[in-house]
Amino acid sequence: MKHLNINIIAALMLLWLLPQTGKAQQYTGISGLVHVPSGEMNHEGDAFIGAHFLNKAMTPDTGFIYYGDGEKYHTFDYFVSLTPFSWLELSYVCTERIYRKDAQGHVINWSKDRYASVKIRPLKEGKYHPAITIGGNDVLTAGYLPGHSEVQLYFCNFYAAATKHFTFGGNELGLTLCYRYYLRGYNAKWNGIVGGITFRPAFFPQARLIAEYTGNEFITGLDMLLWQHLRLQASLKDFKHFYGGICLQFNLLGKKYKY
Amino acid sequence: MFHRNPFFRHFAIVAVLLAVSLCASPPKAKAQTTKQSVDIFMGLDLNFKDIHFETQYDFLIRLTPGFKWNMGNHWQLSGQVMFPILNQYGYEYSFFQVNALNISKEFNIKSLYLKATAGAFSHNRYGLDLKAFLPLCEWFAFEGQAGYVGSVYVSPYWEIVAPNRFVGRLGGDIYLSRWNTQLRGVVGKYLYRDIGFEGEALRHFNHTTVSVYGRWSNKFGLDAGFRVVIMLPPYHRKQRVVNFRPASNWRMSYSMMVREYSHQMYRTDPEENERDGWFSRDLLLWGSHTMEPDFIIKEKTKKNETP
């Protein structure tokens, strides 16, 4: 009887897991790979609220260093995002900054870098052509840049991305190619042509394996959607530095998607 | 005696205008409910701001118990108070506040919809308010609001300042029903004597509305942000004479520039929000009111009555 109960519970958990699918998550709440934007879009009505751990190996080299000794620190961000239409994604992100620590190492001064991200899809994916998206981070303050070096813009960048998916035997392979430009010189290492590959296995379609090149490093990762509302992403930079996050996902139109 | 007092003189003029406008409404403007009911409800008012380096956020959380007495024919008496349960905003927010205690009447003159309200409003204001909505077609409408208000504080001490301020807004709404999307633009003179304009794009989903806005005022400059309105369950309700329920909605407004005094306008209805607008659904069928209703209300019938 005891074994039967355990089997039933395991079967129910498996049933919960099977119908849902993972799609994408970036540290901005906008769809993409890990650090590289993609041509994919979230579904119309999708709303996210979540947080992401940002390893110091992946933060900009300015702005995220301790006051005084100049050492970089790990941090995190949190975000809300929405896909009001199938062709538009919006998000608002706060990245935690530490200004100062006391003698015992406790943080006594906090601040936040806040920015808005936008992604637009002018061309939907077709049988023979990829989906094309254009977008950017910190788009509202980007206009202040000329003559305003004090404006932070740590994550400000613009991009155009293309993604094409191929299916074989129920598996899905996605190829992404992107041109990205960061406005601040200290982020120039992530400029230029970047891209990645995703793979969604047929036997476990709610998960997605990711391999990408950011322009400066390789990142491998995994993301998945559990119980229709919990989205997880975990990744490693150069197989060493962890970078990951968690978020809650809701479809405000009340729709349930297989993919 | 009273006619020499400028407060009562101003108040009397506006009261007469309000009374005339109420009397001008046709008695059977629309099929309106005459059944009376009282709703007693409570929600949560959540405020937070990020202006200090020493703290992540400063919070102000208040309970918002209130009531609405639907007196029939779109007459309504409503009241609400706010009790702080967590206050990191400072001394002035540590007392209970009257958020509404007023009487209102909605009516229409042909296609012009009006709502007149007298009493106490949010933002510690009281006075008279008139709202107007003029749909020209199913996708375009004009909106306007005019108020004559003074300030009133009931806690920690009683203080009242005679009405001395005219405020108002005038603008237009575009509603794209295919996408349940509303575009709104208004110019106005606001509570803190700032004059400005605001543009807002609202996307209405099932039970939720999300909007982004941009605005400018002569005293506070540029600002932008977003708003979220979530209609709270239960979505299927029974209508009794006295109803106890949660607040109909939870609303959040986020200002990127923390302009807390910019474009401020009192609210006359304790549950006023951008999704529902100013008018009752059974009176004005325009905009988001053409969507599926958020609340399916079933009349409570006696056993020997046929529903």
Confidence of residue B299 (pLDDT cuts 50, 70, 90): confident
Give B61's strand partners.
B46, B86
User: Please, which residues 188-247 of chain A have a Cβ atom closer than 8 Å to chain B?
Assistant: none
Q: Do A252 and B205 touch (CB under 8 A)?
A: yes
In this model, does residue B254 exceed pLDDT 80? yes
What CATH class has B2-299?
mainly beta
For B21-71, write each residue's pLDDT tens digit: 444 444 443 444 557 999 999 999 998 888 877 778 889 999 999 999 999
- Counting residues of chain A whose pLDDT is more than 90, the rounded percentage is 59
CB A207 within 8 Å of CB A225: no
What's the rounded Cα separation, in Å, for the pair A88 and B119?
Answer: 43
Interface test with A, best of B183, B206, B255 (most A CBs within 10 A): B206
Domain annotation covers residue A151: yes
Q: pTM for this one? A: 0.85
**Counting beta carbons within 10 angstroms of the beta carbon of residue A185, is it exposed (0 to 12), middle (13 to 18) or buried (19 or more)?**
exposed
Q: Read off the pLDDT of each residue in B152-179 and give the average, rounded to a whole number.
A: 93
Total number of domains constituting chain A: 1
Could you report the predicted ipTM of this complex, rounded to two decimals? 0.81
A 107-136 residues inside an 8 A Cβ radius of B = 108-112, 114, 116
Residues of A whose CB is below 8 A from B211: none
The better pLDDT of the pair B12, A138 is held by A138
In a domain, A133, yes or no: yes
Interchain contact A62–B (C-beta under 8 A) = no
Q: Please confirm whether the linkage preceding B27 is cis (ω < 30° from 0).
A: no
Burial B120-156 (b: 16+ CB within 10 A, else e): bbbebbbbbbbbbbbbeeebebebbbbbbbbbbebee
Residue in B55, B206, B226 nearest the CB of A254: B206
Residue A25 lies in a domain: yes
Q: Does residue A219 surpass a pLDDT of 90?
A: yes
Nearest CA among B235, B234, B232 for reference residue B247: B232
Q: What is the pLDDT of residue B256?
A: 83
Tell whether the model's pLDDT for residue B19 goes beyond 60: no
Q: Which residues of chain A neighbour B55 with C-beta distances below 8 Å?
A: 110
Distance from CA of A137 to the nearest CA of B (A): 15
Rounded percentage of chain B residues whose pLDDT exceeds 90: 70
User: Shortest Cα distance from B206 to chain A (angstroms)?
Assistant: 5
Range of the domain at A15: 2-251
Asked whether residue A150 carries a pLDDT value surpassing 90, the answer given is no
Which residues of chain A neighbour B54 with C-beta distances below 8 Å?
108-110
Task: Quote the pLDDT of residue A38.
Answer: 94
pLDDT digits (tens, 9 = 90+) for B125-135: 999 999 999 99
* Chain A neighbors of B205, CB-CB under 8 A: 45, 252-253
The arithmetic mean of pLDDT across residues A200-216, rounded, is 92
Q: Which of A21-25, B52-56, B115-119 has the lowest average pLDDT?
A: A21-25
Higher-confidence residue of A155 and A148: namely A155
The pLDDT confidence band at residue A2, using thresholds 50, 70 and 90, is: very low
Average confidence (pLDDT) over A225-234? 90
Distance CA A49, CA A250 (A): 9
Q: What are the residues whose beta carbons fall under 8 Å from the beta carbon of A155, sequence distance 6 or more?
A: A28, A60, A93, A95, A113, A115, A137, A138
Pick the residue of B180, B208, B253, B275 with the most A CBs within 10 A to test the interface with A by mutation: B208
Contact A257, A21 (CB under 8 A): yes
Contacts of B50 in chain A (CB under 8 A): 112
Burial class (CB in 10 A: 0-12, 13-18, 19+), B177: middle
Segments making up each domain of chain B, as ranges = 2-299
Provide the mean pLDDT of chain B: 87
Residues in chain A: 259
pLDDT at A18 over 70: no
**B 17-76 residues with CB below 8 A of A?**
50, 53-56
Q: Nearest CB to B206: which of A110, A114, A253?
A: A253
A20-59 residues touching B, CB cutoff 8 A: 45, 47
When comparing pLDDT for B261 and B12, which is higher? Answer: B261
Q: In this predicted structure, what is the pLDDT of residue B165?
A: 93
CB A249 within 8 A of CB A48: yes
Hey, is the C-beta of A181 within 8 angstroms of any chain B C-beta?
no
* pLDDT of amino acid B120: 96
Please check whether residue A84 lies inside any domain of the structure. Answer: yes
pLDDT at A17 over 70: no
pLDDT value, residue B259: 81
Instruction: Kindly report the nearest CA distance between residue A23 and chain B, in angstroms.
Output: 22
Note the pLDDT tens digit of each residue in A43-81. 999 999 999 999 999 899 888 887 767 788 899 999 999
Which residues share a beta bridge with B76? Answer: B70, B104
Q: Is A98 in CB contact (< 8 Å) with chain B?
A: no
Residue A258 lies in a domain: no
Interface test with A, best of B200, B203, B292 (most A CBs within 10 A): B203
**The residue type at A209:** L
Task: From B261, B258, B271, select the one nearest B76 (Cα to Cα).
Answer: B271
Q: What is the CATH number of the domain that holds A159?
A: 2.40.160.40
Tell me, yes or no, if B230 comes closer than 8 A to chain A by beta carbon. no
Q: What is the mean pLDDT of residues A192-217?
A: 93
Amino acid A22: pLDDT: 43
Cβ-defined contact of A109 to B53 (cutoff 8 Å): yes
Q: Is residue B205 less than 8 Å (CB to CB) from chain A?
A: yes
A109 compared with B136, residue with greater pLDDT: B136
- φ, ψ at A188 (rounded to 5°): -60, -20
Instruction: Supply the pLDDT for residue B15.
Output: 54
In A, which residues are within 8 Å of B179 by CB distance? 85
More confident residue, B25 or B6: B6
Q: Is pLDDT of B186 > 50?
A: yes
Q: Is residue B304 very low, low, confident or very high in pLDDT (cuts 50, 70, 90)?
A: low
Nearest-by-CA chain B residue for A111: B53
Q: Determine the average pLDDT of the residues in B225-243.
A: 93
